[in-house]
Amino acid sequence: MSAPDTDELIVRFGREIGAFLDRAGKSEHTSSMFDLRRRTLIGSYCYFDHLPWALDILEDLTTPDELGGSGRGICRPVYAPLIHGLLWGYLIARENELGLGRQGGPDESLELVVRWWEGMSRAVRADGSLLPHEAGWTQPSAPTELIAGLLDRHGDRDASEVSHVTATLQIYNYVLHGEQRGTTFFHGPYPMGDGAHAIVEQFTQLRSNELPWSLTPPLPFDSVAAIFELDEDVTVEFDLFQGMYASPTDYLAHARRAALLAFDNPEPIPVSEAEGDELLAATRDEQKRLFREMLRWDTAYRASYAVWHYFDFLVAFLKQAGAPPVFVEEARRRFEQTVTDRLDELLALEEIPVWKRLYARPDPLFSLLGAGTA
Amino acid sequence: VSEIGRGRLVAGGSQQVRGRFTAVLEVDALLGLLDSDDGELIIYLSRPNVTMIAPLYERLVGIVCEHGNETSHVAIVARELSLPCVVQAHLEHDIEELEGRWVLIDEEGTLRLQ
């Protein structure tokens, strides 16, 4: 990839992030419980410090096209927001370094990250587009015929019952991930004929993840997805991370069909009403435990915990590519090292340059190749 | 029944709900509620943050937020739970005066004191 091509992709990604921030109404990044600005940044620094190392490993095992393509489907280990998260993390840490008057890392590292991101992003969509906002706020991630087939076989559930389960899982996932949507992912729309379209709301790694506070996962399923077929008068739009915006907002009142499926096995299995109730009960109890545990975290951990989210996401790529466990452990060691090297400085910063820049929305949002190099 | 405020109803709205006004502006307030069994709560938040409803959501009959919009995570979750959610709420009373009082949220997003 040429340098101008890399720069063009950095500009486009920045515009997509700007559109996302505008759309999500994000004018601040604060919480009563967590240090959201620093937590995002310490996790991002893990990518800034080690993503090129991880991509070098992936280069020996697979290709961006193959790894991104593995994400096509429902509840796949690698999926679109994780792919976008790699570049997002790398770029905001780089931008923070530049804002602090330091170097932004080698250009060849940035080129490597952008090249992998572009290849995987195109492959997971497989529609010739790259980013949701650029493509009319769409984020298809699965073959339409797969969605249609699952609705034909299993789309007989009551939409409000299904949505009660998904709402509970959203809340659980949000708590589990310390105030971020984590592995909740809306994707679509998928045309179903007669003007109707389907959306997918999926939850992955509910049991199996790398989050230290989730050591004894009590949930009966690891991956669950709801599929809703919506009337033609419902408009749905998707951002590059996990979000969906629907008009009218009570879109579930316009659902024609709904399915609730577990994806823990090669073939999806319908989640019965009794299993849904079991899932709800386990989720309710566990999130209360998590909430109380998180309240005991000290100031430093209320920022540094995010490293495990970023690690968890990176591990999905390594495992999917077939990287031996030694690389996963090496990644863990490297991420811990970034916390050792960078957390104290981050906690001491009164103003964090990258957030100031993100909210000011310059264009380009992210600095191009060559910025800050010696 | 007197009007005490109003905002934008971004979830629910098929019928009015009645509950006890409970402000959760800090985590400490949430902890206090965790140790009680109070139900039928209309929770009042400043920011539309799902964390502040997470441990309580089964005990809620409605959500009122000072800020937020229809795309806020709280609003999304409220819709899926079929709970009314009022955002950008402007109250005509001090929050302390309303604490524990029975309040109605009507189909238009108006809040009334009973």
pLDDT value of position B48: 86
Question: How does pLDDT run across B9-20, given as a tens digit for each residue?
Answer: 988 877 899 999
Residues in chain B closer than 8 A to A252 (CB atoms):
79-80
* Residue A132 backbone phi and psi in degrees, to 5: -60, -50
Q: Is it the case that residue B26 has pLDDT exceeding 90?
A: no
User: Residue B32: which pLDDT band, with cuts at 50, 70 and 90?
Assistant: confident
Cβ contact A25–B47 (<8 Å): no
* C-beta neighbour count of A219 within 10 angstroms: 18
pLDDT value of position A373: 67
Residue A33, min C-alpha distance to chain B (Å): 7
Instruction: List, in sequence order, every residue forming a beta bridge with B102; answer none if it has no partner.
Output: B20
Cβ contact B53–A171 (<8 Å): yes
Q: Is A316 left (phi over 0), alpha (psi -120 to 50) or beta?
A: alpha
First-to-last alpha carbon distance for chain B, in angstroms, is 5
Mean pLDDT of B103-108: 93
CA distance A234 to A253: 10
pLDDT value of position A217: 67
pLDDT value of position B41: 96
Which pair of structure tokens corresponds to residue A2?
């040429």
Top residue of B53, B59, B71 to mutate, by most chain A CBs within 10 Å, is B71
Q: Is A209 left (phi over 0), alpha (psi -120 to 50) or beta?
A: beta
Q: Is A31 on the interface with B (CB under 8 A)?
A: yes
Which pair of structure tokens corresponds to residue A184?
């909740």
Residues in chain B closer than 8 A to A160 (CB atoms):
82
Higher pLDDT, B33 or A51: A51
Closest CA to A330 of A83, A45, A50, A56: A50
Cβ contact B51–A24 (<8 Å): no
Query: Smallest Cβ distance to B80: which of A32, A163, A295?
Result: A163
* Residue B44 backbone phi and psi in degrees, to 5: -115, 125
pLDDT value of position A145: 97
SS3 label, residue B57? helix
Residues in chain A closer than 8 A to B11 (CB atoms):
249-250
Residues in chain A closer than 8 A to B68 (CB atoms):
25
Local confidence pLDDT in tens for the 374 residues of chain A: 899 999 999 999 999 999 998 887 665 677 778 888 899 999 999 999 999 999 999 999 999 999 999 999 999 999 999 999 999 999 999 999 999 999 999 999 999 999 999 999 999 999 999 999 999 999 999 999 999 999 999 999 999 999 999 999 998 998 898 888 889 999 999 999 889 999 999 999 998 889 988 866 678 899 999 999 999 999 999 999 988 888 887 888 899 999 999 999 989 999 999 999 988 888 888 888 888 889 889 999 999 999 999 999 999 999 999 999 999 999 999 999 999 999 999 999 999 999 999 989 999 999 999 987 65
Helix axis angle, A273-295 relative to B27-34, nearest 10°? 130
Cβ contact A249–B10 (<8 Å): yes
* Residue A187 backbone phi and psi in degrees, to 5: -140, 160
CB of A364 closer than 8 Å to CB of A14 = yes
DSSP tag of B59: G
Which pair of structure tokens corresponds to residue A284?
């309710």
Higher pLDDT, B37 or A270: A270
Complex-level ipTM: 0.84
Q: Considering only alpha carbons, which residue of chain B is nearest residue A20?
A: B71
Query: Smallest Cβ distance to B55: which of A166, A249, A291?
Result: A291
pTM of the model: 0.92
Residues in chain A closer than 8 A to B55 (CB atoms):
287-288, 291
Q: Is it the case that residue B55 has pLDDT exceeding 90?
A: no
Q: Is it the case that residue B77 has pLDDT exceeding 70?
A: yes
